[in-house]
A and B are shown apart, each in its own frame.
Chain A
Amino acid sequence: MSNEKSEILKSVKSIVSQALKVDEQKIAPGSSLIKDLGAESIDFLDIVFRLEKSFKIKIPKGELFPEKLLTDTRFVKEGLVTPSGLEELKKRMPNADWNGFSKNPQVSNLGELFTVGMIVDYLSEKLAAASQ
């Protein structure tokens, strides 16, 4: 992991620890916010707002979480992610663990894939783009 990414991970771990009242030692890049760290919807909002403040960035709707994808009827039908939708999601979140989700691709389970590492990757790209 590069130095910049290590620093971002350190900050994200601190933010997630404060937001979820979880010991930082228990937070790893692969930690799922919901499954491993117990995050609820209000916690996701809290984390996004804290990230914006800490990194002095604006996180537009649809950037961190693939929201717009999930309102596209090509990609979601009757609460299930379609094969095309799965393909698009894998492009957006290449490091997520798709094996389990692919067997039962319910939209309502998608949140369980969101990890600390996903946030770090997003911030790393966003900050790199901003510095160019």
Chain B
Amino acid sequence: MAKRVLSPTGIDLIELTKARAFYRRHKRRLGGLLSAGEIAYVRTGTRPHVRLAELLAAKEAVFKAHGGAWMGMTGFSRARIRPASDGLRYRYAGEGTPASGRITVVKNADFVVALAGPACAGI
């Protein structure tokens, strides 16, 4: 029987009231946390705090998918998220070979949920 390799997946959830409060309090400090492209993604949205929540949840989902741990600003920089025509994509430069994949985002009025994986068909 052929050996099957499980694809790494990770999931994270962020409460939008927290994201809103964080954005209001720290929106001028995002440069130490996000790339220029990620900041542009946040700021060009009609609800920047929702986009910020998407990115933060996405990064955390990526760490979980690849067995790493969020560890401050450096850890956050290791996972880069970018918008693509079919949603968000990530590139992760943790230990070992860099990895990339898709982020699936689901949201409602209260939460953003991000699922990171090599090929997420959506939930």
Rounded to whole Å, the gap between the CB of B63 and the closest CB of chain A is 8
- Given that A41-B60, A42-B14 are known contacts, is A108 also in contact with B29, CB under 8 Å in the complex? no
Of all chain A residues, which has the CB nearest B13?
A40
Q: Confirm or deny: B45 has a beta carbon within 8 angstroms of a beta carbon on chain A.
A: no
9-residue interface stretch from B67-75, B103-111, B115-123: B67-75
Among A25-33, A59-67, A123-131, the stretch in contact with B: A59-67
Return the contact of B29 from the options A49, A66, A109 (Cβ within 8 A).
Answer: A49
Cβ 8 A contact of B72, one of A46, A61, A73, A109: A61
- The answer on a CB contact under 8 Å between A42 and B74 is no
List residues of chain B with CB within 8 A of the CB of A79.
67-68
CB–CB B74/A107 < 8 A? no
A45 CB to closest chain B CB (Å) equals 7
Give the number of chain A interface residues (Cβ < 8 Å): 29
Contact yes or no, A45 B71, CB < 8 A: no
* Measured CA separation A111–B19 after assembly (Å): 21
B33, A45: Cβ atoms closer than 8 Å: yes
| Set of chain B residues within 8 Å of A71, measured between Cβ atoms | 74, 78, 94-95
Q: Which among A64, A65, A67, A108 is the interface contact of B67 at CB below 8 angstroms?
A: A108
- Give the residues from 57 to 89 in chain A that come closer than 8 angstroms, CB to CB, to chain B: 61-62, 64-68, 70-71, 73, 76-79
Nearest CB in chain B: distance from A68 CB, A: 7
Q: Is A44 an interface residue (CB 8 A)?
A: yes
Is B26 interfacial (CB 8 A cutoff)?
yes
Within 8 A of A (CB), among B4-48: 12, 14, 18-19, 22, 25-26, 29, 33
> Residue A22 at the B interface, CB < 8 A?
no
The verdict on A48 contacting chain B, using a C-beta distance below 8 Å, is yes
CB-CB < 8 A to B76: which residues of A? 45
Question: Which residue of chain A lies nearest to B29 when distances are taken between CB atoms in the complex?
Answer: A49
| Complex interface bits, A80-112 against B, C-beta within 8 A gives 1, otherwise 0 | 000000000000000000000000001111110
CA–CA, A15 to B69, complex, Å? 24
Is B82 close to A, CB under 8 A?
no
> Does B91 belong to the interface (CB within 8 Å)?
no
Residues of A within 8 A of B (CB): 40-46, 48-49, 61-62, 64-68, 70-71, 73, 76-79, 106-111
- Additional A-B contact list (5), CB under 8 Å, known A70-B68, A70-B71, A110-B71: A41-B12, A48-B72, A79-B68, A106-B67, A108-B69
